[in-house]
Structure formats: C-alpha cells, structure tokens
Amino acid sequence: MKKVININFQGRILPIEEASYETLKQYIESLRQYFDAEEGRDEIINDIECRIAELCDDRLKKGAVCITEDDMRLIIESIGRPADFEAQDGFEATTSANASNASNAKQDQFSDNNENPKRLYRDEQNKVIGGVCAGIANYLKLDPLLVRVLWILLFGISFFAYVLLWIAVPNTSTKQIGGAKKRLFRDIDTKVIGGVCAGLSKYFGVRVIYIRLLFLVPTILLVFNWNHFHLFQFWEFDDFPNFIELTFSPSAVFIYIVLWLVLPEAKTTADKLEMRGEKVDINSIKNTIQTDMEGFGKRAQTWGSNMYNKNKINESQSTTTASSVAPEPPQPKGCLHFAGRTLTILFKAFVYFVLGIITISILAALFGFGIVATGLLPLRRFILEDGAHNWYAYAIIVFFIWVPVVGIVTAIIRKIAGIKKANVWVRGGFWSLWALSWIFIPLFFAKLTKSFSKQNDPQEQAYTLPNAKLNYLEVSAQPKLKYYNHTWLKIEPFTYLDQDTVYVRNLRIRIVKAAADSFEVKYVRISNGKTLQEAERLASLINFDLQQKDSTLFLDKGIAINKTDKFRNQHVIMTLAVPVGKRFKITNKGWAQVNVRVNKKGWRSETNSGFIINDGFDGDDWERNVDTEAFDYDHDVEYIMTPTGLERVDGVKTSNNDNEDPEQLKSRLEELKREKEKIENDLKKTWEQKQKEADEIKKQLDKTKDTLKRNSTKAVSKVSDTVKTIAAGFDAIRLLVSRFQS
Amino acid sequence: MDIQNTQSQMRKGVLEFCILSIINRGEVYPSDIIDQMKAANLHILEGTLYPLLTRLKNAGLLNYRWVESVSGPPRKYFVMTDAGKEAFSVLLQTWNDMANAVSLLTQPQTPNTEA
C-alpha cells in the first residue's frame, strides 16, 4: 500500500507515489546544485523538468495508474544523474549507466583497488558508539582497539573531534541518491589554505567567512598574546580593549590541522555534490546521534564480551605456543603514506602560520600608526591653525594612513571571503588616493615649518630663592590638579590640564656649579612663531612658576598651552647653580622624567667665568645645553657638587668616559705617565734618603756598640780587680786567721 | 597516458558538432536528437543535452520555437540561426580535414621510397 499524491508538474497533473515524489525532488535539487555555476541554470532545469513531465505523461498514457518508484528510477536513469554527467562526459552508452560507480558505493567502501580515493567512513558493523574509531581504524588499517585506546588517552581533545567526525563522516550504510546525502569534504576549489573552512561552510550552509573568522580570530589572539602586546612600547596602554587579554587555546590551529589530515578532498563531481548535499540542521544531527545512541549499551556489552573472549584466546595461545604467529602488523605502506602526508600538512600549516603572523604584525603596525595619528587629532587644535593647516592634516591622516590600512584589510577580508578578483577601480582608487597624500605631505610640512620658523630673543630671568643657603635642595613638580581625560592613549609630552588647555612638558634643567656658596636659579622662556613678534608674544605668555618651600623647589610641570595661542615649541630652560659641597636631587614626583642636562664642559667653564656675570646674562651660557660631552645623569638620585663636578652621594661611579674622544684619552694617558714618572722619581729619592739614614743609624749603632764593649771590658776588669783585691784581702785574712790559730 | 581521458576528450570535441549537424537538417525536438544519435550508435544522456543546447542557444548559434503539441503544453523545437549555419560549415570543414588526416595516419604505412 503506497500513498499517491497529485502534483502539478510543468503544466501536467501527475499522480505520483509519495516516495517517488521525494526522489524526484531530490533529483531536481541535485541538478540545481550541479548546474549552480551555469549561466542558464534555470532554463536548463526547466527544460529537463519539461522532459520528465513528458516522459511521465507517456507512461500514464500507456495505462499506468501513477508514477511508481520504478518509473521514476528509469526516467532519472535515462536523463542521467549529475554524477554520471561528468564521469562519462555524457557520451557513454546509457545502458552502462546503471552499473556506474554511483550506485555501488557500498561495495568499494573499503577496497583499495577501486579508482575512487580511499574514504573515511564510520564503520556501522563494528561500532561501539558512533563507529568513528572503527572507521578510522579501517581507514588506517589498524586494530580498532589501538585507535580506541589512543582516542581515550587523548580524551580532552578527541572528544570534540569525535562528535565532529560522528556528524561529518558518513556511515557505511550511506546510500547515494543523486548525491543528496551530505558529507564533509575539503573544498579545494575555493580554498585559501587547505580548504577545510570552505568545506565546513558548504557542509553547514554557512557563509565561508564566518567559519574562517572562527578559526582566524583565536589564531590572531595567539599572535597578540605571544608578544604580550609589547609591539608598541613607546606609548602606554592604559585600558586598551581587553580582547587582547583573552587567552587563546591552540585548539583552533590543532583542529584545523586534524581536519586537514582527515578530510578527503572533493575531487569528483559526486564528491562536490555530496559536499553541498542535503541540508544539515540541528534536527538531522540530533537524529543521527539519537539513532546511534540507541543500542549503545548493548553494543558496548557485546564489544566488552568480545574483547574478553579475545583476551582469553590470546592468553591460551601465548601460553601454549610461544612461537604462535603474532597478529598481522598494520600495513606499513599505509602508515608511511599517512605519516608523510601528516608531515607535509604540518609543514604547510607551519609556513602559513608564520606568514599569517607576519601579515598580522604588519597590519598591527599600520593600525598602530593610524591610531596614533588619529589619537593626535584632538591635540591638533593646539598645534594647527584653522584653515589650510587643518585640511592638510586631515588629508594626510585619511589618505596616507587610513586609505592603505582600509585597503589592506579589505584585501585580506576579500581573500578570506573567497572573492578572488579585486575590482580594478577599487584598487586603483586606493592607490590614487594614497598617491594624493604625497602631494599633501610636503604642503603640510612646509606650512608647519613656516609657523615654527622664527624664534624669540630670549632673556634670562633670575628667580631669587627665599632660602638659598641650604645644604640640600630638592627639585620637584608642582602638585597641581590634573584633568583626567580618561583615554587609553597617552601621548607624551602632552598632558591635558583641562579641555581647553594642554600641558607641554617642555622643560629642560641645566645643572651648573655656582660661583658663590648659595643655590641660584635662572630661567629663559623660548618660543617659536611665524614672525618674530609672534614668537616674542608667545614667549612672554609662558607662565613658568617657581616656588621654594623649605628645602624643596617646586616647578611647574609644564607649559600651559591653549587653543588660541597654539603650540609653537614653547619651552623653558632652567639653570640650577649648585654650590660646591651642597647636595641636590631632581625627583620624579609629579612628572615623568624631566629633561635634565648636565654638561661637563658647561660647569667647567663656569667655574672660571662664574655662573652669574654681573649684567645677569651670558649669551652663550644656557644655549650651550647641547654638548657632545654628555654627562651620564641618573634621575631621582641625590648628587653632590664637588670641585671637580657632580658626584653621586651614594658613591656609585658614573661612567662618563663613554663619549670621550681619543685625543683626550691620549692626553690623559700622557698625563698619567708623567704622574707615574714623577711618583717613581719621588720614590727613588725617598729610598736613597732612607738608605742614607739607615747607614747613619748603622754607624751610630756601631759606635755605641764599641763604646759599650770598651766600657764593659773596663768595668769587668775593674770588677775583677776589685774581686782580686777582695780575694787578696780574704787570703790575707785567712793567713792572719791561720796564723792566729796556730 | 590516460586512455579514458583521451577518449572522453575526443567525444567531447565532436559532441557539439554532432548535435549541430542534426539540427542543421531541420527543426528538431531534443528527444529526437537523442533518438537520432542513438540510431547512429552515439549515446548521450538527456541531462547533458539540455545544458549543451542552452549554451549553444546563448552563444547565438541556435534558436527555439514553441510548437503546440497534441497533448500537454507546447514543446521547444530547436532551429539553426544564420550564425549557427556559418559555424557549422566551419566545423564541417575542420572535421573533414581532421577525418582525412586521421584516416591517412591510421592506415598502415606505405613503403617509403627513400628508405
């Protein structure tokens, strides 16, 4: 019993079985896809439909009740399936079309001797869950067990891959109905790298650019993460958009490579049709998974028991006969081939990756350039005059920077989106606009240079310190209210004071040795301008405040500039004279490192000429702030002025010999030599002198020795005499006593 | 050498010429073209014929006419345009030359006088 429906097909009413109606619909759809690129697609389809309707009508006229599935099959065969069109060039005997490779897909699934490229199928017969592992094992000619174990070992990554492959890979029971079943291929026709994204987009019916972005965005993030975004170290990023901080999981690249390896290319027409195929939506995915999941437990059980039995057999085998033949090793050829392919693809992927990084870096640099230029735009009112200036600046930013940035980005997006041919007009437009910028650049800079062309005649002013007789002076920035323009981009040396005023940190400090024993401070205000008058006016407008509080000298952080007066390189050079033996420090508090210049020559000459010359101003004095003989000054460090120059209080030697020229070194060496000779001479003299002294002492000693000797012998003889006399006395006494006794 | 590829190249080359020759005989209905070719032992799928006809028509070599049929809607009959006739004569000339050349070359080699 079959349901019959009536359809109005090309002006004919046809009773048709529902199943054959479905076949007809699929067939027409497959034709539509086949002739998709054809100019007269609709006409062709229409002609074929007319013919089908006619053939159906013929059958009905011959007495058929309705169009059965058999009828439909015959009609379709006589017209031909899309797969047959190309395979046989539409010219082979129609009778052999029945036996064409389209209809017997099932037979050649796993056979290698077939012309068709080997394909990955999910193995329905040996499946446990979805048959993916079994299919892969089949494809690689490995034991499914091995594949499953590896799969489980790599669980984290493989889970998603499994689900993806489950959905994407057709199972072995897939029948081909005019290429209506969808399969995942790599689309090599519209590929950029490996055709993976193109294939995925065909499969899911999504525009390819979305898939590509899906893969590309994480890759870009990886690139940025890699460098921790130190690409632009010359300005601070306060709160740059956070997306750079997003962590990247390398899975995008990994998945891409895996898919590249696993997916077959869509080579034949049949492949290409299958690639587009039937619509895949959530429902059909759900259905596939649902049907597969049914009986999962059962299959797992049987698989388990099978494995158990196998193990038992293996055990018994290995115990009984040690020489039992080992199971056939997987065919090495297939493995080698696969390994080779893997290596090639990995290498390719690496090359593309590196190229990608280079491209992205270039783009990032361009973008950075553009951002800086645009970021400066709010400041332009402090620099540029209204009118021509402004227009030139805009033209340069737009034409010179943003035009190429947009052009390159467009080209990349076009490439990603698969639009291969760039419009000649668009490309030419970009180039000519960019060329236009080269006209504006010299104009702009000529104008700008003119605005800076004149400089005022600076007058040095003295600031009398209320308390100059200090032992220690600290120089620091004036703690002033700061206008917080919360922007992620900070461009030194400009700082906003408020919306209409910027601070230009254009202050230089010179350190010299004071002639007297007290600290002294002088400063000059300098400005450029279009005319001398303007320069003078702007210089006189510079409001530079100094204040001493206890042992701290507070300076203005910078020079305030408003929109009407503009920035014309207003700057202040302050000279701080430090007396010998006094200490000072320039802190970093309240400002970033201030521009401190200590020049050795300067202080040397000033020890002679003195810092303050009576009339108060020595023309050259402050101007000699640029000197080849630089002093290695460290910020935020306490220094002491010594007769020979500045020294760090903490005793760390400053290495200021780096810039000394060889002549100086030579003279220094000679000096040292002379010094050495002198010292040697001195030493010699001293030595001789000492020698003499030693001789004298020796003589003296000898003398003393002699006298001592003589004296001693004298004394001894004297004593002996005495003793003799005493002895004689005793003898006499003894004689006397004996005489007396007798 | 891929023989199959060469074969299909040969067939492709003459296919349009064959179709043009059939239409050159007179106004014709597409399925009749199939039948005539079948009779000449040349087999073609209808599915490849229609796109070919459309292409030739778009190239200005063919034109078509709606002819009322006894049963059902009118049918499309194809006919040669002047440009088509011209193209056909050129193709015919080429074919004759080719056929001559091929038949000459495929004949067993005649003994060369110099050899």
**CB spacing of B73 vs A89 below 8 angstroms:** no
Residue A9: the pLDDT is 86
Q: Is residue B27 part of a domain?
A: yes
Least confident of A12-16, A390-394, A435-439, B80-84: A390-394
Kindly give the parts of chain B with pLDDT less than 70. Answer: 1, 110-115
The residue-averaged pLDDT of A537-545 equals 83
pLDDT, tens only, A266-284: 776 667 666 766 544 455 5
Lookup: tokens for A548 = 């001493």
Largest distance between two CA atoms of chain A: 204
Q: What dihedral do alpha carbons A689, A693, A699, A702 form, nearest 10°?
A: -140
Rounded to two decimals, the ipTM of the complex is 0.84
Pick the more confident residue, B79 or A409. B79
Query: Residues of B near A (CB-CB distance < 8 A)?
Result: 8, 11-12, 15, 30-31, 42-51, 53-55, 57-58, 71-73, 75-76
CB proximity A62 to B under 8 Å: no
Residue B92: the pLDDT is 92
Q: Which one of A45, A89, A101 would you mutate to disrupt binding with B, by most B Cβ within 10 Å of its Cβ?
A: A89
Pick the more confident residue, A583 or A36. A583
Q: Tell me if A574 sits within 8 A of A507, measured CB to CB.
A: yes
Nearest to A273 by CA among A187, A390, A392, A150: A187
Q: How far is B4 from chain A (nearest CA, A)?
A: 10
**CB spacing of A57 vs B71 below 8 angstroms:** yes
Q: Is residue B104 part of a domain?
A: no
At A532, which helix (H) or strand (E)? helix A532-541
Q: What is the CATH number of the domain that holds B60?
A: 1.10.10.10
Q: Tell me if A135 sits within 8 A of A120, measured CB to CB.
A: yes
Using an 8 Å CB-CB cutoff, list chain A residues near B49.
90
pLDDT, tens only, A685-722: 999 998 998 899 888 888 888 888 888 787 777 777 77
Pick the more confident residue, A181 or A15. A15
Least confident of A61-75, A207-221, A355-369, A490-504: A490-504
Closest residue in chain B to residue A61, using alpha carbons only: B71
Q: What dihedral do alpha carbons A586, A587, A588, A590 form, nearest 10°?
A: -110
Residue A318: the pLDDT is 55
pLDDT, tens only, A149-197: 776 666 555 566 666 666 666 655 443 433 345 667 888 777 777 788 8
pLDDT, tens only, A95-132: 333 333 333 333 333 333 333 445 666 666 666 666 77
In terms of average pLDDT, the best of A139-148, A260-269, A667-676 is A667-676
Nearest to A311 by CA among A319, A300, A301: A319
Nearest to A11 among B15, B51, B72 (CB): B72
Q: Is residue B103 part of a domain?
A: no
Mode of pairing for the β-strands spanning A571-578 and A507-513: parallel
* Alpha-carbon torsion (A114, A118, A124, A127), positive or negative: positive
pLDDT, tens only, A639-651: 887 777 777 777 6
**CB spacing of A90 vs B31 below 8 angstroms:** no
Q: Is residue B78 part of a domain?
A: yes
Q: Is residue B40 part of a domain?
A: yes
State the Cα–Cα distance between residues A557 and A592, nearest whole angstrom.
9
State the Cα–Cα distance between residues B71 and A13, nearest whole angstrom.
12
Mode of pairing for the β-strands spanning A454-455 and A528-529: antiparallel
Q: How far is A402 from chain B (nearest CA, A)?
A: 45
State the Cα–Cα distance between residues A341 and A252, nearest whole angstrom.
20
Closest residue in chain B to residue A31, using alpha carbons only: B47
Lookup: tokens for A511 = 């350190």
Lookup: tokens for A518 = 């007290």
**CB spacing of B50 vs A44 below 8 angstroms:** yes
The residue-averaged pLDDT of A213-230 equals 56
Inform me whether the pLDDT recorded for A347 exceeds 80. no
Q: Which residue has 């790298």 as its token pair?
A: A193
Inform me whether the pLDDT recorded for A476 exceeds 60. yes
Inform me whether the pLDDT recorded for A473 exceeds 80. yes
Least confident of A202-206, A427-431, B81-85: A202-206
The residue-averaged pLDDT of A594-623 equals 43
The residue-averaged pLDDT of A314-318 equals 59
Domain range for B21 is 17-98
CA distances from B34 to A34, A79, B39, B45 (A): 21, 10, 9, 8
Lookup: tokens for A134 = 């079994």
Pick the more confident residue, A440 or A558. A440
Q: How high does pLDDT run on average in chain A? A: 69
Least confident of A118-122, A332-336, A607-611: A607-611
Nearest to B11 among A61, A79, A91 (CB): A91
State the Cα–Cα distance between residues A456 and A372, nearest whole angstrom.
31
Inform me whether the pLDDT recorded for A386 exceeds 50. yes
Domain count for chain B:
1
Q: Tell me if A638 sits within 8 A of A648, measured CB to CB.
A: yes
Pick the more confident residue, B28 or A661. B28
Nearest to A370 by CA among A424, A406, A327, A326: A406
Residue A625: the pLDDT is 43
In chain A, % of residues over pLDDT 70: 58
Q: Is residue B110 part of a domain?
A: no
Q: Is residue B114 part of a domain?
A: no
Residue A491: the pLDDT is 47
Q: Is residue B112 part of a domain?
A: no
Residue A229: the pLDDT is 39
State the Cα–Cα distance between residues A202 and A191, nearest whole angstrom.
12
In chain A, % of residues over pLDDT 90: 1
pLDDT, tens only, A48-100: 888 888 888 888 888 888 888 888 888 888 888 877 776 554 444 333 333 33
User: Which ranges of A66-143 does DSSP label H, i.e. alpha helix?
Assistant: 69-79, 82-87, 132-140
Q: Is the peptide bond before A250 cis (omega within 30 degrees of 0)?
A: no
Nearest to A178 by CA among A83, A86, A44: A83
Residue A263: the pLDDT is 76
Helix (H), strand (E), coil (C) string for A417-484: HCCCCCCHHHHHHHHHHHHHHHHHHHHHHHHHHHHCCEECCCCEEEECCCCCCCCEEEEEECCCCCCC
Inform me whether the pLDDT recorded for A613 exceeds 50. no
Amino acid of residue A91: F
Nearest to A380 by CA among A575, A567, A212: A567
Residue A337: the pLDDT is 64
Nearest to A49 by CA among A15, A83, A16, A75: A75
Using an 8 Å CB-CB cutoff, list chain B residues near A38.
51, 54
Q: Which residue has 């529902």 as its token pair?
A: A18
